[in-house]
Structure 1
């Protein structure tokens, strides 16, 4: 396999296996021990931190499903454009369960070395998600 094939498969494993199938142990295989994820709402250091983040969203949105809309690769980087869907059934960002079905999108950029994610930068539509959760309309 080439680096780009490996990079795309890492993205698919992260979202199809870890997020959608709930197999958090996959994160130990695809994230390096010194992995650093940088985002607008806090950073993740190491695979355990990634697992905590995924688990928290699975608790808040038990039926969460991530669709990989695009995967773009360049050198040691791979970009994923993602759509998240789920029903708000657990506390999230201080908001108690609303039962609302929500959708949000984002872009994740990963740097890959030695067949694992070593760095990540992302941004997603937190404002749009919060508007959906806080809206009084159903």
Structure 2
């Protein structure tokens, strides 16, 4: 589920850039098929999960696995800042870790991982810092 109670703070982003970012966060929030609308087939996740193929199809299984392992998972989008064809985002992922995820054992703890991400809006090439801590096992608590 994506949680944007009052909407994110948006600075300098076009309507299209905002739509792309919000769609990405909705996809990560539990609607992975939305990735088909915003990511190119050769898109690369930077940093990627070990063994992750390119494109939306490479990320969808990990989103589904995340939601299967983290009860009440929520994605919060806080800020969107854009300039010169680049978009930066500040958000957070929260949930209760209830199953093994990418080799990380189940501690049954509530987790919160802050994330910052950036993209070149013209190419939809996305990179993330912070969010990958959940996928790589460095869970923020």
Provide the TM-score with structure 2 as the length reference: 0.75
1:13 corresponds in structure 2 to 23
Larger helix fraction of residues: 1
Higher strand share: 1
Aligned counterpart for 2:31 among listed residues 23, 27, 41: 23
**Alpha-carbon shift at residue 18 of structure 1 (Å):** 1.5
* Residue 130 to residue 32, structure 1, CA distance change in 2 (3 Å): same
**Kept after mapping to 1: 8 A contact 2:113/2:139:** no
After superposition, the Cα gap between the structure-2 partners of 1:61 and 1:123, relative to the gap in structure 1 and judged at 3 Å, is: same
**Cα deviation 1:35-84 (Å, max 9, x = unaligned):** 12211755661111121232222122132111111101112211111111
Runs of 4+ in 1 over 6 A off after TM superposition: none
Q: 2:139 aligns with which of 115, 130, 133?
A: 130
Shift of 1:88: 0.3
> How much does 1:97 deviate?
1.9
Aligned length: 126
Q: 1:78 to 1:62 in 2, by over 3 A?
A: same
1:5 Cα shift?
1.5
Tell me if structure 2 keeps the 8 A contact 1:88–1:100. Answer: yes
Structure 2 residue ranges without an equivalent (≥5) = 1-12
Q: Indicate whether 1:48 and 2:57 are aligned.
A: yes
Q: Distance in 1 between matches of 2:28 and 2:45?
A: 16
The aligned residue for residue 36 of structure 1 is: 44
Worse-matched range after superposition: 31-40 or 78-87: 31-40
Q: CA RMSD in A?
A: 2.6
For the structure 1 residues 11 and 44, does the alpha-carbon distance in structure 2 shift closer, same or farther, using more than 3 Å as the test?
Answer: farther
Deviations 1:8-49 (A, max 9, x none): 11111121x3233x2221111111112122117556611111
Would the aligned equivalents of 1:38 and 1:44 in 2 still touch at CA under 8 Å?
no
